[in-house]
């Protein structure tokens, strides 16, 4: 009865109701898999700040058993990396299928520069889809401007309880816990879409497990995620990483932060409890799709915009080139089109998700559109290297500009001064050192340095990828 009451309250708070809109059709494109009889629906559940399983630490998905059960019929990509571990740039890369250096959003403040014309919602709308967003779009997108090409939108900018939203541009307050409210709204969108006789995109993007400022009983403030009350004391595993004892081999901005294991555990525990409600809401939407007989022809994507540090290397937050910040969960399910299992050896990038959706939608980019920088995950991979970049951003503290490439076995990072000169280099043997504790270029032992020829090759590849465009970004 409590869930029904909440659903009713959310529905009333979020009026007006969904109404049909017109769309255009476009031609097909090959997907690398057998073509579906009809274009699939797309349900994309995108969490905020959820890291993946990292060597030496727990798998956050362990507290999302319902999600894992649904996605067991799909494929998990355990080596999936974002292009820039910062909210607006990462989401812009996702929705445009282009690296930050190509899509115009390198900093948090540049959300208004988002190239919406050449992005997920506009492309899929042109492909004949009804398009819906429930949750975060871009945090710095103008609040009075509705997200382009979404037929209907319920947009929020953050928070867990009684949050401000705009529903198709009209200011509303979402009553109750926001992850639940967005789930209810998403299912309303699905129900409305199924009456239109064409495929739909539901892009649902809750706050969880991003932190908010929480006021403690003594009046001090702490940054942590806020669980739904029923999960506030739910048992969670010990998950903070031990602080790296010797960080003299790391750049100064890493050495200068000293978060303790206790601080990491506090953040981690709050994040794990926050995603328990996300598990419930994902489950409810998947059950609706199943009950309505459309799950079999729905491409389901579960992922996150960046990871989060739980005192790894003495840090919290993200913005850095290490695994906990860069590596995020990715599950794909499309019955009969994606083989179940785990893509253990495949390197995947956040910019691969738009090409995957467009391939499934049988959509060809229009003439003059900028090329996509990723590859469809429905076909055979050409990728041997993932690339990520970060541009110094006053919104994110003292993290300098850096660029990173990662293969299946090694990671190479260059950090830069404000004038663009290389100020620090890092090299990690991920086979022998999966937790990135020993930078072989600064550990004081020249005997274990990688060969000069290998470093030269890595530096050249990084340089090429830092300006790549289109297919040149998949190497």
Q: Model confidence over 323-370: pLDDT tens digits?
A: 999 999 999 999 999 999 999 999 999 999 999 999 999 999 999 999
Confirm or reject CATH 3.40.718.10 for domain 37-376, answering yes or no. Answer: no
Q: What is the full per-residue pLDDT of the chain (475 aa) written as tens digits? A: 333 333 333 333 343 333 332 222 222 333 334 445 589 999 999 999 999 999 889 999 999 999 999 999 999 999 999 999 999 999 999 999 999 999 999 999 999 999 999 999 999 999 999 999 999 999 999 999 999 999 999 999 999 999 999 999 999 999 999 999 999 999 999 999 999 999 999 999 999 999 999 998 898 999 999 999 999 999 999 987 777 889 999 999 999 988 999 999 999 999 999 999 999 999 999 999 999 999 999 999 999 999 999 999 999 899 999 999 999 999 999 999 999 999 999 999 999 999 999 999 999 999 999 999 999 999 999 999 999 999 999 999 899 999 999 999 999 999 999 999 999 999 999 999 999 999 999 999 999 999 999 999 999 999 999 999 999 999 9
Residue by residue, DSSP assigns 278-328 as HHHHHHHHHHHHHHTT-GGGEEEEEEES---EESGGG-EES-SSSHHHHB-
Burial of residue 206, with CB atoms counted within 10 A of its CB: 0-12 exposed, 13-18 middle, 19 or more buried: buried
**Residue linked to tokens 């937050």:** 317
Residues 318 and 85: beta-carbon distance below 8 Å: yes
Three-class DSSP category at 95: helix
Rounded CA separation 315/390 (Å): 17
Q: E strands along 365-442, which residues?
A: 386-390, 402-406, 410-416, 422-429
Smallest CA-to-CA distance from 131 within 114, 109, 116, 111 is with 116
- Both tokens assigned to 85: 């571990």
Q: Please calculate the CA angle 301-103-43 and round it to the nearest 5 degrees.
A: 15
**Element (DSSP H or E) covering residue 181:** helix 178-194
Three-class DSSP category at 470: helix
Q: Render pLDDT for 202-261 as a digit per residue (tens, 0 to 9).
A: 999 999 999 999 998 898 999 999 999 999 999 999 987 777 889 999 999 999 988 999
Residues 48 and 316: beta-carbon distance below 8 Å: no
Beta bridge partners of 310: 316
Domain segments of the chain as ranges: 37-376
Residues 380-403 as b/e (b if ≥16 CB within 10 A, e otherwise) read ebebebbbbbbbbbeebeebbbbb
Handedness of CA 156, 13, 124, 350 (dihedral sign): positive
Residue by residue, DSSP assigns 148-173 as TT-SEEEEE-S-SEEEEEEETTEEEE
Rounded CA separation 355/335 (Å): 19
Rounded CA separation 474/374 (Å): 6
- C-alpha gyration radius of the chain: 22
Q: Please calculate the CA angle 51-53-57 and round it to the nearest 5 degrees.
A: 105
Smallest CA-to-CA distance from 399 within 295, 273, 179, 252 is with 252
Residue by residue, DSSP assigns 232-272 as TT------PPPPPS--TTS-HHHHT----HHHHHHHHHHHH
Burial of residue 467, with CB atoms counted within 10 A of its CB: 0-12 exposed, 13-18 middle, 19 or more buried: exposed
Rounded CA separation 42/319 (Å): 29
**Strand pairing class (316-317; 331-333):** unpaired
Considering the entire predicted model, what is its pTM? 0.92
H helix count then E strand count, the chain: 11, 20
Residue by residue, DSSP assigns 29-85 as ---SSPPPSSPPEEEEEEESS-----TTS--GGGG-HHHHHHHTTSEE-SSEE-SSS
Three-class DSSP category at 101: helix
Rounded CA separation 394/44 (Å): 31
């Amino acid at each position: 009865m409590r869930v029904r009451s909440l659903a009713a309250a959310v529905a009333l708070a979020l009026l007006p109701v969904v109404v049909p809109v017109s769309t255009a059709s476009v031609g097909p494109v090959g997907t690398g898999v057998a073509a579906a009889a009809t274009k699939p629906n797309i349900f994309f559940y995108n969490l905020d700040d959820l890291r993946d399983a990292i060597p030496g630490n727990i798998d956050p998905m362990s507290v999302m058993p319902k999600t894992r059960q649904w996605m067991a019929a799909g494929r998990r990509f355990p080596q999936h990396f974002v292009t820039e571990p910062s909210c607006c740039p990462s989401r812009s890369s996702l929705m445009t299928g282009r690296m930050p250096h190509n899509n115009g959003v390198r900093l948090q403040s540049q959300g208004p520069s988002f190239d919406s014309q050449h992005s997920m919602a506009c492309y899929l709308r042109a492909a004949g889809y009804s398009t819906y967003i429930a949750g975060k779009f871009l945090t710095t997108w103008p609040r009075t401007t509705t997200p382009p090409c979404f037929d209907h939108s319920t947009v929020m900018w953050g928070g867990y309880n009684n949050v401000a939203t705009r529903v198709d541009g009209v200011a509303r307050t979402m009553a109750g816990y926001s992850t639940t409210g967005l789930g209810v709204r998403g299912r309303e969108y699905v129900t409305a879409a199924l009456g239109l006789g064409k495929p739909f995109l539901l892009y649902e993007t809750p706050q969880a497990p991003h932190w908010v400022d929480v006021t403690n009983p003594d009046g001090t403030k702490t940054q942590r995620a806020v669980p739904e009350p029923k999960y506030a004391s739910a048992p969670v595993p010990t998950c903070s990483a031990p602080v790296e004892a010797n960080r003299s081999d790391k750049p100064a901005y890493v050495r200068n932060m000293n978060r303790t294991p206790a601080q990491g555990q506090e953040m981690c525990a709050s994040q794990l409890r926050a995603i328990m409600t996300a598990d419930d809401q994902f489950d409810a939407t998947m059950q609706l799709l199943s009950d309505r007989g459309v799950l079999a022809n729905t491409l389901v994507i579960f992922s996150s915009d960046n990871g989060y540090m739980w005192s790894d290397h003495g840090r919290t937050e993200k913005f850095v080139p290490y695994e906990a910040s860069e590596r995020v969960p990715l599950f794909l399910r499309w019955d009969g089109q994606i083989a179940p299992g785990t893509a253990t050896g495949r390197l995947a990038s956040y910019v691969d998700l738009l090409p995957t959706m467009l391939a499934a939608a049988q959509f060809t980019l229009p003439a003059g559109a900028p090329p996509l920088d990723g590859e469809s995950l429905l076909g055979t991979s050409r990728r041997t290297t993932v690339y990520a970049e970060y541009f110094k951003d006053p919104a994110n503290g003292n993290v300098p500009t850096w660029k990173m490439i990662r293969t299946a076995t090694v990671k190479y990072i260059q950090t830069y001064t404000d004038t663009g000169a290389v100020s620090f280099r890092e090299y990690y043997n991920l086979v022998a050192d999966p937790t990135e504790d020993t930078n072989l270029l600064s550990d004081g032992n020249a005997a274990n340095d990688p060969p000069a020829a290998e470093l030269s090759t890595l530096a050249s590849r990084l340089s090429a990828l830092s300006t790549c465009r289109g297919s040149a970004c998949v190497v």
